[in-house]
Chain A
Amino acid sequence: MTQERSGADILVNSLERLGVEVVFGYPGGAVLPIYDALFEHDTIKHVLVRHEAGAAHAAEGYARSTGKPGVVLVTSGPGATNAVTGIADAFMDSIPMVVITGQVPTPIIGTDAFQEADTVGITRHCCKHNYLVKDPADLAAVIDEAFQIATTGRPGPVVIDIPKNVQIATAPWHDGPPQRRNRYNPRTHGSAEEIARAIELLANAKQPVFYTGGGVINAGPQASELLRQLQALTGAPLTSTLMGLGAFPADHADWLGMLGMHGTYEANMAMNKADLILCVGARFDDRVTGRLDAFAPHSTKIHIDIDRSSINKTVAVDLPIVGDCGEVLAQLIEAWGTRKPQDLTEWKARIDGWRARKSLAYPRTLEAIAPQLAVERLFALTREYDPIITTEVGQHQMWAAQHFGFFGPNRWLTSGSLGTMGYGLPAAIGAQMGHPGKLVIDIAGDASIQMNIQEMGTATQYRLPVKVFTLNNEFMGMVRQWQELTYESRYSNSYSDSLPDFVMLAEAYGWKGIRIENESQLDAGIRAMIEHPGPVFVDCLVAKEDNCFPMIPSGAAHTEMLLYGDTVEGTMDDEAKALV
């Protein structure tokens, strides 16, 4: 059946048809017709955030925890520009997201109209694709393609900019799905030769390491299952990037922990000494490789990635396989058949030697709670709930990655590549929307949490029982740490002065506030947080000047890690300082 509908109705009906359940947004002049159309629909739930940045991160949290695309709706001008950080964040971390932005009416585009911004221009290089829709007749097909692009291949954010007059003007609406142009068809399978070559390398490796990343999570829960199967067949030890945590269980004997700048000694040493590295859905990021010319120097490298541009970008590999991690893992398992792996006893004994360095050990004092201990206790006391953990960005994020164990995919939501402070609270709200009954905890820092703290109001409004567990050291801890290590402890602007009383703030928003001041209150405070049915803010006061170790300093190799207790010089040469 064909009937005339307004652009706004076509948009809302299209979202409905695509199975969208939640939209995170904030109204404004240029999206009033869409908000009016939403008013009539009860199948799509709209979550009103307090700032558009919150909408974008909430959509990311929803997408990462459910695997479904997050949907954002914001107005033109400042609405769109406020969402840009979240769009860039989703782009860098490959999160499926569709962002609908209002735009001034087409006749006044380009006239510097009220709340006009060149949204398509501004987002061009921080989204996977974007559209400016000038005719409501194009809307249904554009929205359909936008969801296809956002969710297939390497996932990412897609922006649809819709001028206000296009929302009001009408076009024919067809009940069936729109005709697809099918111009976006990423390769998903490895070739038979590539798979055969990979199997030959895997079967002959004496010191193999699996190095896995967010691509495994993005390929869906079955990819994590397949990864475990292939690991079991080959017996290879496995390490993961920050983005890939949870794809492999943290209590497995062959789990090496996270690798890279704040990874474990055993993971980094194993990478350095490996004869074969199987990289699955990771991209040799600078935080992983450290000094490039000293990265995994003795290894043959296989790289499975759905994005061809991730291959040979920074590290040259011997066997690239462009394809979906899940599908290629299935191909590898099938091709492995009944083969027997090499005897890895000697290799694993060497790894055990590195493990014995206990690189995650940390100093404890009587005066203050060690932040690592706080994370360990949080992990121990919440493990039975299979919680979803989000983080902000900084030391607390790395401590969470090091000391919290993950056992399944979609449980660990963190801003990895862009490193966006203020990500964790809105992401927790989004995750809680997707998992109403689940324990969702934002492990936060005192500085990061203030970047989107206004979203506490959103949690209150929708009765979302998110928990914020703040490691409060009264510093931008990671900035302070770098200043200590590279700028002779000149703490330029890294002290969190004038902190609010977080417990009072929580209560002002209708949350429960808990302050933990010493070790004896730690377990009880965490338990009280879990048991409270509503949102809780825990202000956990921790040691102020603890450093996050182990650490590979900028410009150093995997073999040059700093561990707790190492003497650290107060400065670095200019080459090292110039690295990010």
Chain B
Amino acid sequence: MMKITKEHEERHVLTVIVDNEAGILAKIAGLFTARGYNIDSLTVADITENHSVSRITIVTHGPPTQIDQIHAQLERLVPVHKVIDLTENGPHVERELALVKVTGTGDARVEALRLADIFRARPVDTTTSSFIFELTGAPDKIDTFIGLMRELGLVEVGRTGVVGMARGTQGV
């Protein structure tokens, strides 16, 4: 009998600087599906004044040899200028933004607001029985906050996915 076995996997955050041209996102997302790589999150937005260059942040996981292949395969695409493996390169900042809708009244509502304060989540919409909190932070912090809200009437979550940047003076 044959069984499918799995290798040790690592989580990596990649920053990809690309020409802002039609189809580039499909090309990158498609590369991951075509070669069986994982995408945990993917964010993209143009970052130059003339809208010619976009910055893509991809969170992926896989065996170390596969992460190296992902890096090389991305670099091979013509519209890709640069690929930076933030995880490999050392200290870096990761942030994402979440919108979290919580409903409730009485004690639960007060507790939600109190916890939001601890997490520096801002209410951006309020009714007498609900809040939408806006929260930024590393993915862990957002996970924790959402976990707490689950007990207090969580109804909806929206997350942007991670953007990341290396610490220090150096730019990409």
Contact = CB atoms under 8 A, between A and B. Distances in A.
Nearest to A313: B69
A312 B26 contact: no
B31 interface: yes
Interface in A292-340: 307-309, 311-313, 316
Contacts of A575: 2
A550 to B, nearest CB: 27
B23 A124 contact: yes
Interface residues of B, number: 21
B73 to A, nearest CB: 5
A124 B72 contact: no
Interface stretch (A41-49, A125-133, A263-271): A125-133
A311 B75 CA distance: 13
A306 to B, nearest CB: 11
Interface in B48-91: 65, 68-69, 72-73, 75-79, 81
B19 interface: yes
Contacts, number: 44
A574 interface: yes
Contacts of B73: 309
A366 interface: no
A124 B81 contact: no
Q: Is the interface of A mostly helix, strand, loop or mixed?
A: mixed
Given A129-B78, A184-B78, A574-B1, A121 B26 contact: yes
Contacts of A313: 69, 72
B137 to A, nearest CB: 35
Interface in A106-141: 120-121, 124-125, 128-130, 132
Given A121-B26, A132-B22, A183-B78, A309 B2 contact: no
A149 B79 CA distance: 11
A578 interface: yes
A498 B78 CA distance: 47
B27 interface: yes
Interface string B17-36: 00100110011001100100
B26 A183 contact: no
Contact of B72 (A121, A183, A184, A309): A309
A308 B22 contact: no
A434 B65 CA distance: 42
A184 to B, nearest CB: 6
Contact of B81 (A121, A183, A307, A574): A183
The residue among B19, B72, B73, B79 with the most chain A CB atoms within 10 A of its own CB is B72
Contacts of B76: 307-309
24 contacts: A121-B23, A121-B26, A125-B31, A125-B34, A129-B77, A129-B78, A132-B22, A132-B23, A149-B78, A307-B76, A308-B72, A308-B75, A309-B69, A309-B72, A309-B73, A311-B72, A312-B68, A313-B69, A313-B72, A316-B65, A573-B2, A574-B2, A575-B2, A578-B2
